[in-house]
Structure 1
Amino acid sequence: MMTIGTAQIASTAAPSAFFARWADMATWPEWNADTEWVRLDGPFEAGSTGVLKPKGGPKTKFVIAELADDRFVDVSRLVGARMTFSHFVEGTPGGGTKVQVIVTLAGPLSHLWNLILGKGIKATLQRDLESLRAVTEVSSTRSLA
């Protein structure tokens, strides 16, 4: 397995606000500039599957591999490899959240997929996480008002 990118942010929004954003997959293009659309074929829970369409790329099937109070892990199935996005959340003493995302590739063709996708994901991962923080904090502020 190889790590192709990591990103981390701190936010004033609660951990639950991030899970609410991740669960609303149809809105992912609002904060993920590389995603054209996402469709979840069931509830936001471990084992549910879906399809996402990256901008300029083919549709990709994924599964929610893990969902717990402190993490959300989705795995995209590529030919000869699996790309895993692991999202970790940790509440902070002030009521905010630390969020970390780690993207890994595994499988016999992972080196090929790293050449194809790795540079782009690594270049945009931090930006996308910062955009997620922005929309999450705005939503959290509105819900408190």
Structure 2
Amino acid sequence: MWEYEHSVETTAAPEALWRRWSDMETWPQWNDGIEKIEVDGPFAVGTAFRMTPPGEGPVELRLVEIVPGEVFTDEMDAGGFVVRTVHRLERLDAGRTRVTYRTEIVGQAADEVGPQLGPAITADFPDVVAALVKRAEEG
């Protein structure tokens, strides 16, 4: 297994952050790692979507867990391994929220592909989370 986690704290309310996450069609507006997104249904467990990073081919993912206002998880199943990213909100004291992105690569080929693929997938997490937080703080 390979894993990486990045968290930040913000004054943005969980509801404001969740609105950004649950509106998948607008992800490219604040996530520079997505040039294009195609979503095959509502923001619901089981919905498939394709994200196209700049200069690359599309990546097929599926929403596998949603707890409204708290967490959603997407997965890319590549056969010999699965890339799972958990997006979590945690309400803290003093009107603060912790935003966490956590990626795990699991499965038979995880130890082989994780050390190369994992850092490539997660390299932009600090920038993506910062952009999400900025949008949510602006309202």
> What interval of TM-score do these two structures reach, taking the shorter chain for normalisation?
0.7 to 0.9
Is 1:84 the equivalent of 2:84? yes
**Alpha-carbon distance in 2 for matches of 1:45, 1:103:** 20
Moved more, 93-102 or 113-122: 113-122
- Compute the displacement of 1:83 (Å): 0.8
Render the CA deviation track for 1:31-68: whole Å, top value 9, x for unaligned.
22221112221111122211111223321211111000
Three-state SS of the structure 2 residue aligned to 1:35 is coil
Match of 2:43 in 1: 44
- Aligned-residue CA RMSD (Å): 1.8
1:136 Cα deviation from its structure 2 partner:
1.5
Q: Deviations over 1:86-131 (max 9, x none)?
A: 0111112333311111011112232443244222233221121111
1:122 and 1:61 mapped to 2: Cα distance? 17
SS at match of 1:102: strand
Q: Provide the rounded CA distance (Å) in 2 between the counterparts of 1:107 and 1:130.
A: 30
Distance in structure 1 (CA, Å) of the matches to 2:97 and 2:134: 13
Q: Structure 1 pair 19/101, CA: closer, same or farther in 2 (3 Å)?
A: same
| Structure 1 pair 112–75 and aligned structure 2 pair: CA distance change class (3 A) | same
Aligned to 1:106: 106
CA distance, structure 2, for counterparts of residue 81 and residue 33 of structure 1: 26
Q: Are 1:121 and 2:121 an aligned pair?
A: yes
Unaligned 5+ runs, structure 1: 141-145
2:105/2:118 contact within 8 Å kept = no
Spell out the pairing of 1:22-37 with structure 2 (5 A cutoff): 22-37=21-36
**Which deviates more, 107-116 or 30-39?**
107-116
The whole-number CA distance in structure 1 between the counterparts of 2:58 and 2:122 is 20
Structure 1 moving runs of 4+ over 4 Å: none
What is the one-letter code of the residue matched to 1:6?
Answer: E
Aligned residues: 138
| TM-score (normalised: structure 1) | 0.84
- Partner letter of residue 67 of structure 1? I
